[in-house]
């Protein structure tokens, strides 16, 4: 281990480098300056806006994080299925209205027939 080769005032350097902070006894009263109190209140506001307590609670309970992530995944999947069903239903309805178009009406009618046939056979058949 290298030795300290500092030639300056050792007692002054050690005191300035090794500042320690100790908490007072819980029963002792401590007088704080108004500026310190304002800074503590600012920190408390920042921590409150960050939801620091909730974050720390979540970080110390991994089972809760897993359960929450699972629930979020289920909700997203269900939302995706419902949304896509609504969009697909709207498209089929729109295509059904377009059957009377001269050039593509025949193709759209075939698509609507295939969808209706599939919907009729899949809901009535049991495997």
On whether residue 14 sits in a domain, the answer given is: no
Please report whether residue 105 resides in a domain: yes
- pLDDT per residue as tens digits for the range 73-94: 999 999 999 999 999 889 888 8
Specify whether the CB–CB gap between 98 and 104 falls below 8 A. Answer: yes
Angle at 63 between CA 62 and CA 68, to 5 degrees: 100
In a domain, 8, yes or no: no
Domain annotation covers residue 38: yes
| Rounded-to-integer distance, Cα 127 and Cα 121, Å | 12
What does the pLDDT look like over 31-78, one tens digit per residue? Answer: 888 898 899 999 989 888 888 778 887 778 888 889 989 999 999 999
Give the chain's domain count: 1
CA distance 57 to 7: 50
62 within a domain of the structure (yes/no):
yes
DSSP state of 24: P
Domain that holds residue 75: 32-121
> Contact 89/115 with Cβ under 8 angstroms?
no
Q: What's the rounded Cα separation, in Å, for the pair 74 and 12?
A: 63
């Amino acid at each position: 281990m290298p030795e300290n080769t500092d030639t300056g005032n050792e007692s002054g350097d050690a005191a300035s480098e090794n500042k320690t902070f100790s908490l007072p006894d819980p029963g002792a009263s401590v007088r704080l300056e108004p500026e310190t109190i304002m800074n503590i209140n600012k920190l408390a506001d920042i921590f409150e806006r960050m939801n620091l307590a909730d974050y720390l609670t979540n970080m110390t309970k991994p089972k809760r994080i897993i359960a929450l992530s699972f629930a979020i995944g289920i909700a997203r999947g269900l939302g995706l299925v419902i949304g896509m069903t609504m969009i697909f239903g709207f498209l089929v309805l729109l295509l059904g209205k377009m059957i009377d178009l001269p050039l593509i009406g025949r193709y759209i009618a075939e698509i609507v027939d295939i969808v209706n046939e599939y919907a009729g056979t899949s809901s009535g058949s049991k495997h």
